[in-house]
Structure 1
Amino acid sequence: MITRFLVKSLQINKKITRPNSVIIKKWYSDLTTKDIENLHPALLKKADTLQVELSKLEDQMSSGKEFNVEDSKRYNQLTSVVSIYNEFKINQSNLKELEILIEDEDPILKEEALLEIKIAIKDLINSTNKLKIKLLPSHEFAEKPTIMELRPGAGGHEANIFAQDLLNMYIKYCQFNNWPYELISKSDHESGSGIIDATLSINQLGSYDRLRHEAGVHRVQRVPTTETKGRVHTSAAGVVVLPKIDESQNDPNLRKFAPGELRIDVMRASGSGGQHVNTTESAVRIIHIPTGIMVNIQDERSQHKNKERAMTIIRARLAEKELKEKAEKEREQRTGQVSSVDRSDKIRTYNFQQQRVTDHRCNFTLYDLQGCMSGEKLDDIIDQVEKNETDSRSLELIKMIESEEK
């Protein structure tokens, strides 16, 4: 479809200033070769199948047949996918029409088409990427809030300080995005700088799908403030990202525990806290006996609140563990699959000397370390990690579809 601007420019007889068509044509050729990737036929076939499924549900709806909860849920899912698919087809058609006009003998028509090609290409790239994401199965806990746990790794006291820096980064990220959050627990280093561990609850629905990519070992390279010779030290901190299961609602993912599955101990809180530390058994330790997963909470004066927080964390850890085991079994059962590579170890390096942040999973470098640490540029990195994951999962899906057709 030719845009109104292009049609109007053909209808009026006025001299316009136009860029060199040879330059634009070269730019267009380079861009299409580099940046536009046609969707794999297997993905297009899947999109067509989903469109047919939606049509059947629409016929069912128009006939007056009652929808159950699952039908309604599926209808909403399909509507979202097909809407993006239709957008993709329109953008694809627009680009093809403009490609034909570029070869037209009319110089005005040709050069106006070249001017509009840039927008058409960006629109197609955007809709292609969105469709790829929509065709992939969403994460089981995609809509959940998040629990993040941070701990120092190798590197001595500098690792404690870096863990605190990461905690501050995620808090600022929440503030930048206007996400509600709560610091569930934090144990400070005895020196007063850095942390021993911390647990952050991010109560924004859907935040888990965004932040799950932050799980892994984060590495920092910088000159510590205590370093007298100016030598660069390397240290690390670990980030665990868990889905937060809502215990106040009828959540189907809410874990029920069998008698004897949990061991719950109460004790006096340790550390600073005045008389309260020595007189009140407010600290709570919960151990999941089958897995050995243990949670200690002592931040609140109320034993009840500490137990509630500990239960939230242990449910989140178990949900994540079971989901990973389920995904691993599914991968093992597939034949001819393209295996995902787990690169949770050393996922990212923060180099303070060079003011850069490099994510090793997608080989993306952001040359704005302060912007990242302030939370404002963290999305730039997460976007690239998500794109890398989408491309990888798309290859797995294509392989699976092709194997099913054999």
Structure 2
Amino acid sequence: MINRIRRFLPKVRNFSTANLQPETSLPQLHPLLIQRAQNLQCEHQELSKKLDSYDPVLQIQFDRISQIMEKYDKFALLNNEVSELSKIKDQELVEDAQTEIQSLIPQLQEMCNELKNKLLPPVKYAECKTMIELRPGVGGNEASLFTEDLLQMYVSFAMHKNWKYKIVSTGKTSSGFLNEAILVIDEPGSYDILRHESGVHRVQRVPETEAKGRIHTSTAAVVVLPKLSEGNEQSLRSDELQFKPGEVRIDTMRASGKGGQHVNTTDSAVRLVHIPTGMIVTQQDERSQPQNKAKAFAILRSRLAERERIQELEKQKNLRTSQVKTTDRSDKIRTYNYPQNRITDHRCGYSLHDIDGCMKGEKLQDIIDKVTEVEYEERMDEMVSAQSTGDKEV
């Protein structure tokens, strides 16, 4: 019967996305996003003309726009098909047409949701891999235990997504509790997803060491950075060239703590001091000084890149920095309440009643999606405001 209905629909071939006019009752894109799609279509055509000879930079740009236009074309086709089905008046076909519309609308909604963020101006470093730094805040040993839980949550999330990952650095207190961890996720584009995790995470639960069953509140700080370097000896030379002579002071020292024969016998540990900002990076996990130096430079580049991105946001949009300023309980983005089995993200007001599912990495995407929705609304408001005042694109 569906094939019989489709014979009544006009053939849609070589249509122009510029003429897309969605029905008001259907999932639809903001007119400014449709305008951006038209601009991207023109840019796509121009890039295709320039790619007669291979240019890696232009090719990456072309491929990115191609993926967006492929989704937009599919959205336009679905929209047109639903629109035409809704115009059918034949009594024998109208019921089947409505059934077909109901089956297509979820696809249309899903495609619309994807395009909403794809058609916004890209976030800086959105296509990068990810470096996540975690540190305990207030709460003593319980804060350290919670930091380990968060580290495992992100590892589980990476495994759930089939992303490659590696814990590149960990630090322990004299009591054996975690005081710092750095996790790298080697998946292009993962930074755009995980950047929303930056901030102070708060936990409310009864610690294992609490004899009287009292609920304690502790925090951990999470900083998500774009990974700009592989952090190995092969990338070290190019990383060093990113800085002016004398901009980075390099100190070498003997590693401390547990670790084998190299500890306190060779100057394998490295400390970098970025003179203009005072930023300090120390690495001692590897037995080789060049390997520690390479890791340190990779971390320094990522920290400086994220610092620059946040400064640009504050300058352009007058926004409060989304990164961690303190590890105080009041400066929090999310609360993990174990007695109530509830995780609440304070940026979007969304609560998930499945702590176990989130900590296993299976439900974390649900929270990220809700935060992304809020960000989309904010960025759309900025685009509308910029359009009304005649400013350049946000």
Q: TM-score range by the shorter chain?
A: 0.7 to 0.9
Report the Cα offset of residue 311 of structure 1. Answer: 1.2
Report the Cα offset of residue 250 of structure 1. Answer: 11
Report the Cα offset of residue 111 of structure 1. Answer: 2.5
Task: Give TM-score, length-normalised by structure 1.
Answer: 0.80
Q: Residue 245 of structure 1 contacts residue 254 of structure 1 at CA under 8 Å; is this kept in 2? A: no
Matched residue SS, 1:277: coil
Check 1:67–1:147 CA distance in 2 against 1; reply closer, same or farther (3 A cut): closer
**Whole-angstrom distance in 1 between the partners of 2:94 and 2:81:** 15
Match of 2:206 among 223, 246, 249: 223
**Equivalent position of 2:244 in the other structure:** 258
**Equivalent position of 1:294 in the other structure:** 280
**Whole-angstrom distance in 2 between the partners of 1:285 and 1:69:** 35
**Whole-angstrom distance in 2 between the partners of 1:262 and 1:268:** 20
Match of 1:207 among 190, 202, 208: 190
Q: Residue 2 of structure 2 contacts residue 96 of structure 2 at CA under 8 Å; is this kept in 1? A: no
Check 1:328–1:255 CA distance in 2 against 1; reply closer, same or farther (3 A cut): farther
Match of 1:269 among 235, 251, 255: 255
Q: Residue 245 of structure 1 contacts residue 251 of structure 1 at CA under 8 Å; is this kept in 2? A: no
RMSD over aligned CA atoms reads 3.2
Matched residue SS, 1:224: coil
Report the Cα offset of residue 139 of structure 1. Answer: 2.3
**Whole-angstrom distance in 2 between the partners of 1:351 and 1:175:** 24
Check 1:284–1:52 CA distance in 2 against 1; reply closer, same or farther (3 A cut): closer
Matched residue SS, 1:265: strand
Matches within 5 A, 1:154-169: 154-169=138-153
**Equivalent position of 1:172 in the other structure:** 156
**Whole-angstrom distance in 1 between the partners of 2:180 and 2:391:** 50
Bigger Cα displacement from structure 2, 251-260 vs 300-309: 251-260
1:45 partner amino acid: Q
Q: Residue 222 of structure 1 contacts residue 234 of structure 1 at CA under 8 Å; is this kept in 2? A: yes
Match of 1:233 among 208, 216, 223: 216
Check 1:190–1:399 CA distance in 2 against 1; reply closer, same or farther (3 A cut): same
> Are residues 1:321 and 2:311 paired?
no
**Whole-angstrom distance in 2 between the partners of 1:398 and 1:159:** 42
Report the Cα offset of residue 100 of structure 1. Answer: 3.2
Report the Cα offset of residue 165 of structure 1. Answer: 0.7
Q: Residue 212 of structure 1 contacts residue 242 of structure 1 at CA under 8 Å; is this kept in 2? A: yes
**Whole-angstrom distance in 1 between the partners of 2:261 and 2:64:** 56
> Are residues 1:184 and 2:168 paired?
yes
Q: Residue 310 of structure 2 contacts residue 321 of structure 2 at CA under 8 Å; is this kept in 1? A: no
Q: Deviations for 1:216-247, whole angstroms, at most 9, x for unmatched residues?
A: 11111111112222221111100111111125
Report the Cα offset of residue 5 of structure 1. Answer: 6.7
Report the Cα offset of residue 184 of structure 1. Answer: 1.8
Q: Residue 235 of structure 2 contacts residue 294 of structure 2 at CA under 8 Å; is this kept in 1? A: no
Q: Residue 151 of structure 1 contacts residue 196 of structure 1 at CA under 8 Å; is this kept in 2? A: yes
**Equivalent position of 1:46 in the other structure:** 36
**Whole-angstrom distance in 2 between the partners of 1:310 and 1:55:** 42
Matched residue SS, 1:208: helix
Q: Residue 142 of structure 2 contacts residue 218 of structure 2 at CA under 8 Å; is this kept in 1? A: yes
**Whole-angstrom distance in 1 between the partners of 2:348 and 2:237:** 35
Report the Cα offset of residue 83 of structure 1. Answer: 2.5
**Whole-angstrom distance in 2 between the partners of 1:250 and 1:266:** 16
> Are residues 1:195 and 2:178 paired?
yes
**Whole-angstrom distance in 1 between the partners of 2:203 and 2:287:** 35
Q: Residue 239 of structure 2 contacts residue 297 of structure 2 at CA under 8 Å; is this kept in 1? A: no
Check 1:340–1:291 CA distance in 2 against 1; reply closer, same or farther (3 A cut): closer
Q: Residue 139 of structure 2 contacts residue 217 of structure 2 at CA under 8 Å; is this kept in 1? A: yes
**Equivalent position of 2:264 in the other structure:** 278
**Whole-angstrom distance in 1 between the partners of 2:84 and 2:237:** 50
**Equivalent position of 1:85 in the other structure:** 72
Task: Give TM-score, length-normalised by structure 2.
Answer: 0.82
Bigger Cα displacement from structure 2, 311-320 vs 132-141: 132-141
Q: Residue 43 of structure 1 contacts residue 398 of structure 1 at CA under 8 Å; is this kept in 2? A: no
Matched residue SS, 1:87: helix
**Equivalent position of 1:244 in the other structure:** 227
**Equivalent position of 1:352 in the other structure:** 338
**Equivalent position of 1:150 in the other structure:** 134
**Whole-angstrom distance in 2 between the partners of 1:323 and 1:252:** 21
**Whole-angstrom distance in 1 between the partners of 2:237 and 2:364:** 31
Matches within 5 A, 1:98-177: 98-101=85-88, 104=89, 106=91, 108-177=92-161
5+ residue gaps, structure 2, are 8-23, 325-330
Check 1:250–1:57 CA distance in 2 against 1; reply closer, same or farther (3 A cut): farther
Report the Cα offset of residue 288 of structure 1. Answer: 0.6
**Equivalent position of 2:360 in the other structure:** 374
**Whole-angstrom distance in 1 between the partners of 2:236 and 2:269:** 28
Q: Residue 340 of structure 1 contacts residue 392 of structure 1 at CA under 8 Å; is this kept in 2? A: no
Percent identity (aligned): 46
**Whole-angstrom distance in 2 between the partners of 1:41 and 1:243:** 31
Q: Deviations for 1:289-342, whole angstroms, at most 9, x for unmatched residues?
A: 11010011122222222112111111111111112222333335xxxxxx6884
> Are residues 1:4 and 2:18 paired?
no
Matched residue SS, 2:264: helix
Matched residue SS, 2:255: coil
**Whole-angstrom distance in 2 between the partners of 1:296 and 1:380:** 35
Larger Rg: 1
Higher helix fraction (1 or 2): 1
Q: Residue 40 of structure 1 contacts residue 398 of structure 1 at CA under 8 Å; is this kept in 2? A: no
Q: Deviations for 1:258-299, whole angstroms, at most 9, x for unmatched residues?
A: 222111111222223465433222221111111010011122
Matched residue SS, 1:284: strand
5+ residue gaps, structure 1, are 9-31, 333-338
**Whole-angstrom distance in 2 between the partners of 1:68 and 1:191:** 54
